[in-house]
Structure 1
Amino acid sequence: MRSARRRGSVLVAGLDPYPGRLPPEIFSRVSDGFPESAAVREFCLGALEAVEPEAAAVKLQAAFFERLGPEGMEVYRDLIAAAGDLDLPVISDVKRGDIGPVAAAYAEAHLAVYGAACVTVNPYMGADAVEPFLRETRRLGRGGGVFSLVATSNPSAGELQGAGSPPLFELAARLVAGLGEVRGDYSDAGAVVGATRPEIGARVRELMPDALFLVPGFGAQGGSARAIQGMLDRRGGGVLVNSSRGVLYAYEAGHSGGADGPASDYRSLARRAAAEAREALREAGARP
């Protein structure tokens, strides 16, 4: 959260290089034999530099780099390093959900070897699935944390997370809240809470008053800036709001370019989309 305050932003820009969705000026070179991993590197580095003035952090969806094999993981590593050079924390979106030495190995890989500041994890195997990641963040002492899936933004999430009495998401929230240590203003055990179900988000905030929320579902998935308001803590903060497709693929939306550059310039359009998202969140009252 220090980065959010320093930059005056709660926006997290997601760098999710979907297959086949590279900008035309890059994709055309792939068709001519330019390696896809090199194209993804160019695309993401350009987007990273573009959104840096507007974002509190960036989130890398590891799957899109893993699918490219060893070269893709080199790109993943290089993006984390490049973000570090810009003093921009990286949230590694890995959603790991194993236990014991396996979970510890995942934690060491993404937090220590690759150097991400934070990771996402799946807590539905219980505390054993979260504690190895918390131990690693505390060992490294870099001020990062772990975001556990509590109430996600996908359409079918409620089928499982809303089941039972109390519902499963409440049990997950209580579990995660009990694992964290408050460091500064927030616990190092954060929660992934989607913007697509604001009433659920407000309930999770009641259960996790000291937690930092990573909020997906804003923008392309239909979550609004107003939906974030019930998730704010007593200081009006406590959220980092992710926008991936709405920022990274802004060039697909038919913007006209204008003073910010030509419509085909994905960098300037990503920066504009990030600036608009940042301002919308600020107007909704989300404070860094």
Structure 2
Amino acid sequence: MTHHTTEPVPGRPPRPFGARLEAAMDTHGPLCVGIDPHPSLLADWGLPDTPAGLRDFALRTIEAVGGHVAALKPQSAFFERHGAAGIAVLEEVLAAARQTGTLCVLDVKRGDIGSTMTGYAQAYLADDAPLAADAVTLSPYLGLGSLAPALEAAERTGRGAFVLALTSNPEGAGVQHARDASGQAVAAAVATGVARANAAAVAAGTLGSVGLVVGATVGDAVTRLGIDLAAVGGPLLAPGVGAQGAGATELEAVFGAARRHVLASTSRAVLSAGPHPGAIRAEATRQAARVGAVLRP
């Protein structure tokens, strides 16, 4: 079991998230397992839809795949719906993931301005934050510049961010595919801005710590909108693998020359193998090999 520690060493600058993620994908394959305690999955596992059920579900998932996959991705909404007790479980889940050495991407999709964005940065990206994760998902649709407090906090603490660019929901296209007066698509402008944030890391020969979220089911949108994913220089989080329908063909078509930077995310395809940890781990290993054959042949 290889650990990619998230704990800072006193007196030493934190190792950037991009470098840690690259090492984790090299070791375990490019798979991120979502921890999504959806009511139907809890029921399938014979668990109640309560904070205790969430805790059992999430900690059993970490027991199964912690130290065996590149990353874990808890979906904050499924914990938040249970109020303070659910948030307490999420704190415990993040701490448990840290103990396994597995990188944790907290899926919160935050996006705001000014001091409020700074507040979110303090909540998720500060070393002493109870909800600190290795990376978070962020929404740039109040303007990419509005994310500066979070991106700066992530850089200071060796953490990362995945910025929404092309999502697979049909409603997203109305905003993400829209073009400005110069003809550039909104999603392409986001990708260009993220590439700028990663320029120093790329110049140093490492993977940047600011990534994009690009759905594995977006079809030809990347090409049609003129987005060069290989030039982004950071990781590409690709939801939609497995139960949502994306397989080898879709991954190859969407990501092309940028395939090696893709972290494929799946939840139900792995978690539906539960509740036994051994079965979950076996399915995660199978899925990692499956996506690895396409993304890192």
Q: TM-score, normalised by structure 2?
A: 0.81
Aligned pair partner of 1:129 in 112, 132, 146:
146
CA shift for structure 1 position 267: 2.5
Aligned pair partner of 2:136 in 104, 119, 129:
119
1:62–1:93 Cα contact (<8 Å) kept: yes
Aligned pair partner of 2:195 in 161, 177, 182:
177
Q: Are positions 1:150 and 2:165 aligned together?
A: yes
> Which residue matches 1:101?
115
Range that drifts further, 190-199 or 15-24: 15-24
Q: Are positions 1:194 and 2:215 aligned together?
A: yes
CA distance in 1, matches of 2:187, 2:246: 19
1:96–1:121 Cα contact (<8 Å) kept: yes
Q: How does 1:252-267 map to 2 (within 5 A)?
A: 265-267=275-277
> Which residue matches 2:37?
17
The unaligned stretches of length 5 or more in structure 2 are 1-20
Q: TM-score, normalised by structure 1?
A: 0.83
2:241–2:265 Cα contact (<8 Å) kept: yes
Q: Which amino acid aligns with 1:81?
A: A
CA shift for structure 1 position 59: 0.4
2:25–2:31 Cα contact (<8 Å) kept: no
CA distance in 2, matches of 1:86, 1:109: 22
Q: Are positions 1:40 and 2:64 aligned together?
A: no
Range that drifts further, 101-110 or 160-169: 160-169
Q: Which amino acid aligns with 1:170?
A: A
> Which residue matches 2:281?
271
> Which residue matches 2:240?
217
Aligned pair partner of 1:163 in 158, 161, 178:
178
> Which residue matches 2:16?
none
> Which residue matches 2:13?
none
CA distance in 1, matches of 2:42, 2:208: 37
> Which residue matches 2:106?
92
The 3-state SS of whatever aligns with 1:91 is strand
2:198–2:233 Cα contact (<8 Å) kept: no
CA shift for structure 1 position 181: 4.7
Q: Which amino acid aligns with 1:199?
A: D
* Count of paired positions: 265
Range that drifts further, 55-64 or 45-54: 45-54
The 3-state SS of whatever aligns with 1:156 is helix
CA shift for structure 1 position 49: 1.4
CA distance in 2, matches of 1:127, 1:209: 15
CA distance in 2, matches of 1:77, 1:157: 30
1:128-186, Cα deviation, whole Å (9 max, x unpaired): 3221111111221x3x2111000112233223322333322112212322233543522
Q: Which amino acid aligns with 1:43?
A: F
Q: Which amino acid aligns with 2:39?
A: P
Range that drifts further, 275-284 or 172-181: 172-181
Q: Are positions 1:74 and 2:88 aligned together?
A: yes
2:164–2:212 Cα contact (<8 Å) kept: yes
Q: Which amino acid aligns with 2:142?
A: M
Q: Does the C-alpha gap of structure 1 residues 6 and 208 become closer, same or farther in structure 2, counting only changes over 3 Å?
A: closer
Give % identity: 33
Q: Which amino acid aligns with 2:91?
A: R
> Which residue matches 2:255?
231
CA distance in 2, matches of 1:159, 1:248: 32
RMSD over aligned Cα atoms = 2.2
The unaligned stretches of length 5 or more in structure 1 are 252-264
Q: Which amino acid aligns with 1:126?
A: G
1:182–1:188 Cα contact (<8 Å) kept: no
CA distance in 1, matches of 2:29, 2:230: 25
1:249–1:266 Cα contact (<8 Å) kept: no
